[in-house]
Structure formats: structure tokens, C-alpha cells
Structure 1
Amino acid sequence: MTAFSLDPGQIAWCAELRTLAAQHLRPLADKGEPGHVNRPLVAELGRLGLLSRLFTSGALDLCLMRESLAQVCTEAETALALQGLGAHPVHAYGTAAQREHWLPRVADGGAVAAFALSEPGAGSDAAALALRADEDGTGTGTGGWRLTGEKCWISNAPEADFYTVFARTAPDAGARGVTAFLVPADRPGLTGSPLDMLSPHPIGALAFDAVPVTADDVLGEPGQGFRVAMNTLNLFRPSVGAFAVGMAQAALDATLAHTARREAFGGPLKDLQTVAHQVAEMALRTEAARLMVYAAAAAYDEGASDVPRRAAMAKLLATETAQYVVDAAVQLHGARALRRGHLLEHLYREVRAPRIYEGASEVQRAVIAKELYRRTEPTRETGPA
């Protein structure tokens, strides 16, 4: 297997995923209530064995799952991705007790996970988060803290069963002063409220009023939470790109079918050179993005040293490409694409957010530049005297 092709088994698996999505997941997604966790859909993802693969597969498999599901049912793709994003820190950094309690429930769809990093004043600048973890003064000797502050723009909030929460345990220490905690939703002092967003899944705000946590709730090591967050994002950023590629492919497929049968100016739209060239450009960009996503995922699975750069490039190119492709598809379909319930109307709403979450496009460019310069040896500029 290379970074630029799939073997026959992988191709067959992707086709099987699309079939499962059409037959089992799409009907449940259609019955869901916008703005709320679709628990029957999450449970079905568990029953089909897709959630358990989040903890047994590599980055490329995650990308293939997300791309394949997104082509048929973006709601199922997002439900799967959020389970993975919220629970991956538990899988990768949790204690045996944390993993044994939560991961089987996530895998069977019985527990809904969430990744709580963003705050009202710390979105793209994740190192600036202000949620405080103050040492608990109860004198119990448990090594506890009290969480005080807010989280915002959290997917699956306020309906998740537990949150991976990043809080500041050391003031004025930047990224070095952050600790990751596993916080069950029923912890005293934790409340949440929904936000009315352009999204079919819930997004909400969380308020922490001296929420108690102990050393048993820490994910990884105290003070190492930023590393937990960034390593999780390095895994999931290429797969956000895969989600985008799946949406782009769905828009491209719809456009091919539409322009082949739609008659205008004495023949099918596909016979107009401007239309044919537009479709070719859409296909070119989609394939380029797909290859970069696969390459970034393969690099992650191989433990390459340049994963942050590759992950940022993959997410940036794929999400920007999907925006372009979906917009072009809407233009070629005309007014019918804007009718409520049309596939492209749905994709047009879905495609915008991935350019912002898990690091906005501007952040990805900053990561790419930082990684490029970090690998450049300082040289003394010389020239004529």
C-alpha cells in the first residue's frame, strides 16, 4: 500500500460503508431532530461495529470511514467523528480504569463523547484558554482541582455523557500550563446550554462552577494537556479533510448526473464547453485533495516526523476544495439546488464549518509556515561588501 492508492480490499470496504450508510444510517439520520444528539443513529454506528474501529484502526482507516460515510450521510459521518474526537484522548492517554469504564460504552454507542477545547476567548489560539483548574483546598489529599470558567462551540454539548476538558492548572504558563481532564456530564457544578447554529448536530456552551476533579480524572500528565489536544488534532485534521472530500465527491457525482441529463441551449449541459471545463476542474481539485489526505494519514500511521505539517496541509486543501466544489455544483444546478431538502442545499450548509473547526484555515497556514521554518537551518546571509 502506498500513500497514493488503495488496495482492492480497501476499495471494497469503502463501497460497503456507502451501502451501510444508505440502508441503515440515512433512514435514522432523516428521523433525527436538528440540534440534538441522534442517539439511535449513534447506537446503530455502534451495532455496525464502526465506532469500535475508532480505537483499533489507523489514521487512513479513519479517513476512509469518514469520506465514505460523508458521501451518503453527513449526519452519520459527524456522529462517528465526534465520538472519536471526544474519546481519543481517553483511548490514547487515559488510565486503565478510565478506558475500561468509558471506551466500551463509546464503542457500542451507549455513551456520547465530546471534545471541550474552545472557549469564548480562545478558539484559534488554543494556548490562550482561560478555564481555571484551581487546586482544591479541601485538604482531602486527593490531588484535586476545581474547574471554573466556560467552554464554547462544543459539539455534542450540552447532551454528551462525558467531556474531554482542557483547563489551565498553571497561570501564565501558556501551553505548558494546561491539563486534560475526563469530566462526566453529571459532575456537580457543570451545566450547559445549546447554541442555535447552522448544524444538524448539537453545539453548545458549558459553564463550570467549581466543578470538582481529582488526579483520577487527569488524562495523561498534569501540565501536558496541550500535547494531548494537539496530538489528537494531528490525527483528526486529515480526517476532517476526508469528510470534506466525501462532501466534494457527493457534489461532483450529483453534478455529473445533472449536467448529463439537463437540456439547455439545444443539448445537454455537459456539451457546453464552459460546463465541461468546470466539472473537470471540480474533479481535479477533489482528487488532489483526496491524495493529500491519504498521504497525511499514511504519514501519521508510519510515525513520520512531519505529521503536523502534513495534517495541516491536508485539512486546509481539502476543506477549501470542498467549499469550491460544492459552490460550483450549486451554480451548475441553478435554483433547484437552493430548495430546502435538496442534497446540495444540505451540503452547502455542511461544508462551511470544517474551514473553521479543529483549527481555522488561517491557523493551518500558520502551522504549515511554522513547520517549514522550523526545519530550515539558520544561515548567515552573505553578499558583496
Structure 2
Amino acid sequence: MSLPDVFDPDILALPLYDDAHRALAGDIGRWCAGRAEAWATLDAAEPAASGRALLADLGGAGWLRHLDPAEPASDLRALCLRRQALAYHEDLADFAYSIQELTAAAITRYGNETQQRCYLPGLATGTTAGALALSEPGAGSDLAAVALEAVADGDGFVLNGTKTWIAQGDIADVCVVLARTGDGPGPLGLTAFLVESSVPGFKAEPIGAIAPRSWAQLDFTDVRVGGEAVLGERGQGFVVALDILERARATVAAAAIGFARRAFRLALEHARTRKVYGGRLADLQLVKSSLARMDVKLSAASLLTARAAWAIDGDLDHAKHSSIAKLHSTEAAGEIVDGAVQIFGAAGLVAGSTVERLYRQIRSLRIYEGASEVIEMTIADAL
């Protein structure tokens, strides 16, 4: 693995990054490359087992250390660089890493000292798995439609309902759960809770996906939690969820760049070595055009993502920038991976090949943390 494979050195050289970011890019890229052999068999294992193993891997190597409040914090640009490298090398590693970050971000930004001490050290070592439980069968991007009930009962609450499409839901030890406490209509009636999967009445059922990963439906049947489980303030759950998702969108963009750069490098190498019509595939004008478009899209995605992450780290107005980066990067990545399959031809359709896996893996990013259509509305509302 060379740095230019995973990252664009010209982008990293911009003032949007500093020397610590550039050093991190090299370190995480080399570490991921060194794990290639160990990760080669992940697809053959159950997604839940792979998720647990990867969390231990990431935690043991220190890539989650910053989640512990006793350790130096990480900025969002560093998080984006980690996701880009992980996605380039292994989808499941990026998946496990990103969900730990999402869960920890909610606890770090809205949890009290007791909650942070209880959960963050375990998330940082990978011994505790986290999940962000927002979506429901009738509430995906429209979080104001969340219906899972949390009824006040004495000094606590009783939760009843269902969450679905929850990343790491089947292995999570603690979930950030968005529930309706009835403090007002729509988004005003939502509260965030920290719910441990060991509590009576909690049940997780794995869900299959086009790209195998730890994914589940969570059923809550008379799940009782104490008042200390409220994350942030009662009635402010929508604010908690929206803040975490807005910040996370830039990291989804970074992961999309990682997937797309892998597809681009594979397509470029194949085009340069594939003999066709008495020459190389890369000599054909239409193939040259396709590769050029891929490179332009990658450059634009990298710049938009760097700007968004820089704005977040600078505590500047970032919601629009993060949404723009997420929208462009995920849509462009889908086009780049599709273009790579086209360049490979029939070889790109072989089940289990790297390009075929990337084709399945990239599709979900246009839905995670806000579907593209919802993101477009968000951007339009900010104009």
C-alpha cells in the first residue's frame, strides 16, 4: 500500500489539514494494509462474529482510544481519514469503527459524567459494542415519526416498540435509543435513552443485507430503564439525533471516498494491463474518458469532505457543508464503482471479486445518515 492509493497527497497537503493529520493518514493506511491477510476471511464468517473481532482489532490497536474521556480527543478530520482508509481496505472494519464512533459521539456530547465513565472506556477498547437505534419500520429518515414509546413509570420509563435496520444491533451491549415520551407533538416528544441489551424484554434479531454486516431489528417489550438512562434532557432526543447525524454525514462522505478510490485504482490497473484490440484497454478513448471522470469526481468529493470536516472542527456553521459532502461523495462513489464494474466487464460480475463486493457495499451509503433525497431537501432549506 502506498499513500497515493488510499489518499490524494495533493489534498492532504492543503491547509485544511495539518502535519498530525498527514502522519495519521500514513499510520492508518499502513496498519490497514498490514491487516489484509487477517481480514481476508471475514466474508466467510457470520457478520456478528466479524463485528466483534473487528472491534477487538480496532480497540487493541488503539484506533478507538480517543473515545475514552481520559485520553486526548480526536477531531473530525482525523475521524474522516480513519474511515477513508478503513473503507478502502475493508468494508466491515469501517462499519464497526463508524458505529462505535456514532454511539460514543452521542454519549460524549450529551451524556453526563456518570454515563461517560460507564460506557466510553469500553467503547474505546472495543470490549463494549455500541449502536444508534433511531430507525423504525415506519420511521426512517423522518425521525419525527418515531413511535417507540417510553412511558414514565415511577422514577423510570417503560419502553415498548420496535427499531429496525440497526447497525451492530445484534452485538450491541449498549444502544442509544430514540423514543417517544409524549412531551409534545412530532420531534418535540422525543427523548434519547441509553439502554443495555442485557435488560429483560430486549430482543435483537439479525437482518440480512446485500452486503453482509452486523444489522438487526430490536424489539422492546416492557423494557424498564431508570431515570439515569435519559441521555441529555427529556424532550430533546430529536436535537441529539439530528446533531449526531449532521456531524456524521461528513464521515460517510469519507468512507465513500475510500470505497471509490479502491474501485478507481482497480479499474485503472486493469485498464493498463488488459490487452484488447491489439493494444491496452486504457488506450481506448471511451475508457480514458471514464477514468478521467472518476478522477474528477474523487477530487471534488475529497475537497468537499475536507471542507466540511474543517468547518466542524472549527466550530463553524457546518450542517450544509456536511450534507453537500455526503450527497456528492456517496452519489459519485456509486457512479465510480459502477464505472469500474463496466471496465472490468464480465470479470466485474464474478461473485466474491473485489469489484463485485464494492458494488454491493457502496449502495447503502446513499441511504445511511439521510437518504440522498432527504439530504437534497436539507441543502435546499439552507439556501
C-alpha contact (below 8 Å) 1:260/1:269 kept by paired residues: yes
Please point out which of 225, 238, 243 is paired with 2:237: 225
1:290 paired residue among 285, 298, 302: 302
Instruction: Check conservation: 2:157, 2:224, Cα contact below 8 A.
Output: yes
Structure 1 residue 281: Cα displacement: 0.4
Corresponding residue number in structure 2 for 1:104: 121
Give 1:303's match in structure 2, choosing from 283, 308, 315. 315
Establish whether residue 165 from structure 1 lines up as the match of residue 182 from structure 2. no
Q: State the shift of 1:196 in Å.
A: 1.6
In the alignment, which of 255, 259, 263 is matched to residue 247 of structure 1? 259
Task: For residues 322-377 of structure 1, give each alpha carbon's deviation from its aligned partner in whole angstroms, at most 9, with x where no partner exists.
Answer: 000000000001111111221111100100001011110011011111111xxxxx
Q: How does 1:12-51 map to 2 (within 5 A)?
A: 12-24=23-35, 27-28=38-39, 30-31=41-42, 33-38=45-50, 39-51=52-64
What whole-Å deviation, never above 9, does each CA across 1:183-203 have from its counterpart, x for those lacking one? 000111111211121232211
> Of 218, 224, 233, which aligns to 1:212?
224
Give the distance between the partners of 1:107 and 1:344, measured in 2 at CA: 32
Shift of 1:166: 0.4
2:271 alignment partner in structure 1: 259
Question: Distance in 1 between the 2:298 and 2:247 partners?
Answer: 21
Match of 2:362 in 1: 351
| Change over 3 Å in CA distance of 1:333–1:259 after alignment to 2 | same
By how many angstroms is 1:26 displaced? 5.5
Deviations 1:286-306 (A, max 9, x none): 11011101101111111112x
1:94 aligns with 2:111: yes
Q: Partner letter of residue 99 of structure 1?
A: Q
Secondary structure, aligned partner of 2:48: coil
Question: Which residue of the other structure, out of 269, 272, 280, is the alignment partner of 1:268?
Answer: 280
The 1:154/1:37 distance shift into structure 2, 3 A limit, reads farther
- Structure 2 CA distance for aligned equivalents of residues 333 and 300 of structure 1: 38
CA deviation after TM superposition for structure 1 residue 7, in Å: 4.2
Gaps of 5+ in 2: 1-11
1:12–1:26 distance in 2 versus 1, CA, 3 Å? farther
Summarize deviations over 1:107-129 as a string: whole Å, max 9, x none.
Answer: 11101100000000000111110
Distance (whole Å) between structure 1 residues aligned to residue 128 and residue 120 of structure 2: 9
Shift in CA distance, 84/26, structure 1 to aligned 2, threshold 3 Å: farther
Q: Determine what percentage of the aligned residue pairs are the same residue.
A: 40
How big is each residue's C-alpha offset from its partner over 1:258-310, in whole Å with a ceiling of 9 and x where there is no partner? 111111011111111111111010010011011101101111111112x1111
Q: Post-superposition shift, 1:25?
A: 6.0
CA distance in 2, matches of 1:262, 1:161: 48
Q: CA deviation at 1:234?
A: 1.5
Runs of 4+ in 1 over 3 A off after TM superposition: 1-9
Q: Paired residues, what number?
A: 366
Q: Give, in angstroms, the shift of residue 13 of structure 1.
A: 2.3
| Conserved? CA contact 2:271–2:282, under 8 Å | yes
Per mean C-alpha deviation after superposition, the further-off stretch among 7-16 and 118-127 is: 7-16
Q: How many angstroms does 1:12 deviate by?
A: 3.6
Matched, 1:147 2:164: no
Say if 2:139 is the partner of 1:128. no
Give the unaligned 5+ runs of structure 1. 373-385
Question: Against the structure 1 CA distance between its residues 3 and 94, is the aligned structure 2 distance closer, same or farther, given a 3 Å change threshold?
Answer: farther
Correspondence list, 1:304-319, <5 A:
304-305=316-317, 307-319=318-330
State the AA in 2 paired with 1:195: I
Structure (1 or 2) with the larger CA radius of gyration: 1
Name the structure 1 match of 2:99: 82
| Alpha-carbon RMSD | 1.7
Specify whether residues 2 and 348 from structure 1 end up closer, same or farther in structure 2 by C-alpha distance, changes over 3 A only: same
8 Å CA contact retained: 1:252, 1:282 = yes
